[in-house]
């Protein structure tokens, strides 16, 4: 018999949509009623809220609101641009609306008699509270099996909101996630499932929230399936323990950001000057100065997205999320296959950008791919096929004295292919193509090509040569790349593709933690 589930929520953001879609897949299909609490606030109520927030947050509330207003009205940033089919499409709002057996109802008051009647007529087996307002008993008790709530915090220690903030404020080493049965009080019901993730050296609030979004899906799936099967057993929370937290003030947010501040890439004055240049370039681009320049394509190169280190191969998780959000709102982000076909580069109203990764580290799968799916962006991952899915380290990690760094395995790369990402070759053993013998290079190209075809069914492989400098590829070795059947070759020595793309010398520019947000925007506009 098909399960009937009602979702109570205050917004249909990405994490809520992802949770619904993945639970539907986990259950093999269900009947859904999604009840969205969307109250209409009067001008008087809005003014009162502004006054209360100003009293609570002080002067910081004014620039905070101005920035929020700018994001809402500024051209190109009001909403994410429409994109072609690609990674993350299954979680988009329009895709959710097309999910079989799902109905979305927006109500002015989730506790109004009409809302209660709507839920009763649906006759749900189970209720799910996902980013919902505080629920009252007349509503949460309607489902036959009750209602469960996803709380991104470890109970009973961290009740309330927001996810990860107060854990970092208190300096804990692990950040929790809980699923519990809803009762009359906030986050106090019997526990059904719990787990936690490790705080890394440079973890921040946003980076941990992104991790929690992914981690929470598994907890909700298991708890909901257990409730529907009658196997879930709630465990009462210890009486009198824990604390309920509220939303932090802007001053507290600033204080935590100061505490968590990592290493500085360069002196503050130098950073401010570079940001001023970047802001000037951005302003010139917005008023149309770029139209006088030749059309160009920027191909970005990443290696790792993680918060355990800060080095020239790594970008932070929250930093990468900000960067991808900016690209999704302001640029035309295209697959690398489209870049190879740009002969010449056509003019575009928005900057044209492609996103690529080299090597094949596990964090590409754990952190980068989820962020890309969140923003519905394509990307290409070039992997050394003899090092991924093995304990063998990359040569550059050995030279740096790095400890073991996990790599992706073939099952994870198959999932990434199924999500819509491109997987290409980075040789077998991450060799220097210019320094190795012709026989070795020919063998590495053929074996890597065959590995990709056998494991991932790649039929038109693209090659990114290791190290990526001009000195690491020669005309003779490039002929071997073409002879091996590769349809394109990417470098890594910087530069922007202007006018046309040489498909066997695609220029890429590296990105790491040292880039400020303004510096990244300047780079993405084609002015490295």
- Helix, strand, or coil (residue 506): strand
H, E, C per residue of 452-483: HHHHHCCCCCCEECCCCCHHHCCHHHHHHHHH
Q: Are strands 497-498 and 296-302 parallel, antiparallel or unpaired?
A: antiparallel
What Cα–Cα distance (Å) separates residue 129 from each residue in 2, 6, 43, 135, 442? Answer: 20, 9, 29, 8, 57
Is the four-CA dihedral 205, 209, 211, 212 of positive or negative sign? positive
Task: Return mean pLDDT, the chain.
Answer: 92
Q: Residue 226's closest CA among 125, 79, 317? A: 125
Contact of 500 with 343, CB cutoff 8 Å: yes
In angstroms, the CA 255 to CA 252 distance is 5
- DSSP secondary structure string, 40-88? PPPHHHHHHHHHHHHHHHGGGHHHHHHHHHHHHHSTTTSSPPP--S-TT
pLDDT at 507 over 80: yes
CA angle (255, 256, 260) in 5-degree steps: 120
pLDDT at position 414 is 98
Q: What's the burial of 82, exposed, middle or buried (CB within 10 Å: 0-12/13-18/19+)?
A: exposed
Tens of pLDDT, residue by residue over 314-327, are 999 999 999 999 99
Q: Residue 129's closest CA among 109, 144, 146? A: 146
DSSP class of residue 281 equals H
Q: What phi and psi, each to the nearest 5 degrees, are found at residue 273?
A: -65, -45
pLDDT at 496 over 70: yes
**Token pair in block for residue 315:** 């970008």
Q: Are strands 422-425 and 102-107 parallel, antiparallel or unpaired?
A: unpaired
**Secondary element (H or E) of residue 100:** none
DSSP class of residue 472 equals G
pLDDT at position 82 is 45
pLDDT at position 20 is 97
Tens of pLDDT, residue by residue over 291-316, are 667 899 999 999 999 999 999 999 99
Tens of pLDDT, residue by residue over 135-165, are 999 999 999 999 999 999 999 999 999 999 9
pLDDT at position 292 is 65
In angstroms, the CA 412 to CA 423 distance is 11
Tens of pLDDT, residue by residue over 10-43, are 999 999 999 999 999 999 999 999 999 999 877 8
pLDDT at position 289 is 63
345 Ramachandran zone, left/alpha/beta (phi>0; psi -120 to 50): beta
CA angle (330, 332, 333) in 5-degree steps: 110
In angstroms, the CA 328 to CA 83 distance is 9
Tens of pLDDT, residue by residue over 203-226, are 999 999 999 999 999 999 999 999
pLDDT at position 278 is 63
pLDDT at position 284 is 66
In angstroms, the CA 83 to CA 377 distance is 8
Is the four-CA dihedral 468, 473, 475, 479 of positive or negative sign? negative
pLDDT at position 276 is 76
84: confidence class by pLDDT, cuts 50, 70, 90: low
Q: Are strands 314-315 and 243-245 parallel, antiparallel or unpaired?
A: unpaired
Rg (CA), the chain: 25
Q: What's the burial of 313, exposed, middle or buried (CB within 10 Å: 0-12/13-18/19+)?
A: buried
pLDDT at position 526 is 87
Q: Residue 6's closest CA among 167, 118, 169? A: 118
* Mean pLDDT, rounded, for 52-63: 84
The 8 Å CB, 24+ separation contacts for 83-86 are 83/328, 83/333, 83/376, 83/377, 85/420, 86/335, 86/376, 86/377, 86/378, 86/420
pLDDT at 180 over 50: yes
pLDDT at position 273 is 73
Helices (H) and strands (E) in the chain, counts: 19, 20
pLDDT at position 164 is 96
Q: In percent, how much of the chain has pLDDT > 90? A: 82
How many of the other CB atoms lie within 10 Å of CB of 260? 13
**Secondary element (H or E) of residue 234:** none
pLDDT at position 77 is 47
Return the minimum-mean-pLDDT range out of 105-109, 196-200, 273-277.
Answer: 273-277
pLDDT at 427 over 90: yes
83: confidence class by pLDDT, cuts 50, 70, 90: low
Return the minimum-mean-pLDDT range out of 57-71, 168-182, 331-345, 434-448.
Answer: 57-71
Residue-wise burial string across 27-47, b where 16 or more C-beta atoms lie within 10 A, e elsewhere: eeebbbbbbbbeeeeeeeeee
Q: What's the burial of 70, exposed, middle or buried (CB within 10 Å: 0-12/13-18/19+)?
A: exposed
Q: Which residue has the tokens 């320094």?
A: 435
In angstroms, the CA 342 to CA 353 distance is 12
Q: Residue 210's closest CA among 321, 327, 86? A: 321
* Mean pLDDT, rounded, for 229-243: 92
H, E, C per residue of 380-438: EEEECCCCCCCCCCCHHHHHHCCCCCCECCHHHHHHHHHHCCEEEECCCCCCCCCCCCH
> What residues are paired with 107 via a beta bridge?
37
Tens of pLDDT, residue by residue over 372-408, are 999 999 999 999 999 999 999 999 999 999 999 999 9
CA angle (248, 251, 257) in 5-degree steps: 85
């Amino acid at each position: 018999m098909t399960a009937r589930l009602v979702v109570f929520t205050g917004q249909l953001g990405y994490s809520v949509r992802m949770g619904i879609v993945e639970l539907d897949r986990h259950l093999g299909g269900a009947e859904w009623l999604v009840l969205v609490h969307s109250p209409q606030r009067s001008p008087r109520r809005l003014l009162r809220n502004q006054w209360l927030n100003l009293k609570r947050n002080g002067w910081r509330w004014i620039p905070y609101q101005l920035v929020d207003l700018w994001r809402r009205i500024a051209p190109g940033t009001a909403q994410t641009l429409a994109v072609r089919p690609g990674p993350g499409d299954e979680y988009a709002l329009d895709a959710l609306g097309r999910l079989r057996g799902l109905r979305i109802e927006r109500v002015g008051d989730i506790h109004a008699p009409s809302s209660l009647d709507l839920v009763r007529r649906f006759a749900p087996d189970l209720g799910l509270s996902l980013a919902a307002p505080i629920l009252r008993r007349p509503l949460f008790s309607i489902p036959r099996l009750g209602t469960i709530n996803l709380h991104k915090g470890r109970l009973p220690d961290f009740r309330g909101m927001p996810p990860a903030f107060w854990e970092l404020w208190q300096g804990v080493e692990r950040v929790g996630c809980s699923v519990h049965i809803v009762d009359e009080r906030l986050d106090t019901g019997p526990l059904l499932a719990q787990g936690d993730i490790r705080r890394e050296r440079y973890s921040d609030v946003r980076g941990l929230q992104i991790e929690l979004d992914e981690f929470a899906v598994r907890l909700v799936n298991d708890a909901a399936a257990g409730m529907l099967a009658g196997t879930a057993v709630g465990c009462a929370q210890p009486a009198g323990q824990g604390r309920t937290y509220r939303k932090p003030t802007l001053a507290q947010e600033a204080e935590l950001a100061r505490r968590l501040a990592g290493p500085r890439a360069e002196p503050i004055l130098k950073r401010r000057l570079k940001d001023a240049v970047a802001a000037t370039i951005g302003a010139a681009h917005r008023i149309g100065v770029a139209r006088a320049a030749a059309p160009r394509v920027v191909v970005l190169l990443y290696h790792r997205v993680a918060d355990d280190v800060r080095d020239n191969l790594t970008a932070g998780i929250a930093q990468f999320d900000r960067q991808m959000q900016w690209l999704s709102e302001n640029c035309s982000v295209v697959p690398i296959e489209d870049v190879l076909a740009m002969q010449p580069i056509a003019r575009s109203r928005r900057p044209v950008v492609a996103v690529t990764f080299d090597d094949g580290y596990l964090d590409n799968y754990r952190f980068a791919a989820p962020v890309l799916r969140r923003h519905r962006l394509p990307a290409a991952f070039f992997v050394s096929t003899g090092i991924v899915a093995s304990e063998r380290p990359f040569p550059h990690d050995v030279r740096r004295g790095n400890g073991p760094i996990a790599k992706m395995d073939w099952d994870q790369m198959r999932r990434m292919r199924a999500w819509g990402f491109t997987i290409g070759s980075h040789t077998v053993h991450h060799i220097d193509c210019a320094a190795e013998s012709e026989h070795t290079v020919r063998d590495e190209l053929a074996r890597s090509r065959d590995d990709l075809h056998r494991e991932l069914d790649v039929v038109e492989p693209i090659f990114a040569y290791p190290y990526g400098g001009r000195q690491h590829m020669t005309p003779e070795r490039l002929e071997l790349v073409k002879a091996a059947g590769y349809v394109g070759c990417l470098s890594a020595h910087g530069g922007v593709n202007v006018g046309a793309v040489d498909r066997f010398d695609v220029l890429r520019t590296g990105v790491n933690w040292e880039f400020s947000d303004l510096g990244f925007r300047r780079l993405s506009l084609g002015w490295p």
